[in-house]
Amino acid sequence: MPVTRFPNGVSSFGVPILGSGPIFTTGNIFFVDSGATNAGDNTRAGAGPDFPFATIDYAVGRCTANNGDHIIVMPGHAETVSAAGGLDLDVAGITIIGVGAGPDTPTVTLDTANTADVDVDAAGITVENIHFIANFLDIAAAIDVNANDFTLRGCRFSETSVILNAAIWIQDHLTTSDRITVQGCRGTAYGTANTHFINFAGVGVGHIIADNILMGDWATMCIGGAGVVDQCLITRNQILNVVATADTCISVAATAEGIISDNRCAGGHATDGIVNGDMGAFENYYEDQDTDLSGSLEPAVA
């Protein structure tokens, strides 16, 4: 059984252990670290932290679909996405886990073109603890979800200035992206041309948007869109949208269905911070940040 520099080891044979938490898989585990002396995108690398792959994109290509494969991204890893599909998550059933906290969190920076994006093109992909950074003018849709059962958990989103930004951070495809989960993420986005943090562009079923802290400036809405989502749950999010016109923190299509509950929102306008369509709404509060009043239930109590 191999021994590594992790405090609690990394093992395989069915139940590998990384750091203090278990990874239950019989699949492959690959390592990525752009800062490692021996890093390389070749078939001889990737099996351990001392000889890792140099990029997540290459590691994805070494995975086997629906095999339970995991990619461990080491502290301080930095990767740049400079074109459409520059990072293509196109192998089904893989999990990508960033190791590190604060400044050591692995980063993926979108740069060079406003079409630069991370494409999700296979089902059942999970991404955890990655810091995504926008570093180009009005990136159109930074994470483009084109497959079912995509999960983002515990990730961070930021932009390098108000003009080097992501107009949309996460966007579901028109017809082929059900059961998106975005949970426990943190976003800071004050770009002058931002429109959405999460854009429901399609008719997805079963999305869960929960426990996120989102602070920014979104001219359309922070969470929502024109797509008629169904069986959707939006809950326990903390949202600040500072736009001073009649834009919203959460807004869904008129015939969208599901539940919006226990969200706490504030913004730069007086009303319509939460627009629920046909979704059930329970214990959501909104406050106009320009007043000295406490938040009130929104939408109005039936």
Query: Residue ranges per domain, the chain?
Result: 17-194
As a whole number, mean pLDDT of residues 122-151 equals 97
As a whole number, mean pLDDT of residues 278-299 equals 82
The percent of residues in the chain predicted with pLDDT above 70, rounded, is: 88
pLDDT at 290 over 70: no
As a whole number, mean pLDDT of residues 29-46 equals 96
Compute how many other C-beta atoms are within 10 angstroms of the C-beta atom of residue 161.
12
pLDDT at 40 over 90: yes
Q: Kindly indicate the confidence band of residue 266, based on its pLDDT and cuts at 50, 70 and 90.
A: very high
Residue, of 195 and 287, whose pLDDT is higher = 195
Q: Measured over all CA atoms, what is the biggest interatomic distance in the chain, rounded to whole angstroms?
A: 63
pLDDT in tens, 191-204: 989 999 999 999 99
Q: What is the DSSP string of 93-161?
A: T-EEEE---GGGS-EEEE-SSTT--EEE-SSS-EEES-EEEE-STTBS-SEEE-SSS-EEES-EEEESS
What's the token pair of residue 203?
A: 């008719």
**pLDDT at residue 292, as a whole number:** 65
**pLDDT at residue 20, as a whole number:** 42
pTM for this prediction: 0.90
**pLDDT at residue 244, as a whole number:** 63
Contact between 265 and 285 (Cβ < 8 Å): yes
**pLDDT at residue 288, as a whole number:** 79
Q: Which residues contact 136 (CB under 8 A, 6 or more apart)?
A: 110, 111, 112, 113, 114, 116, 164
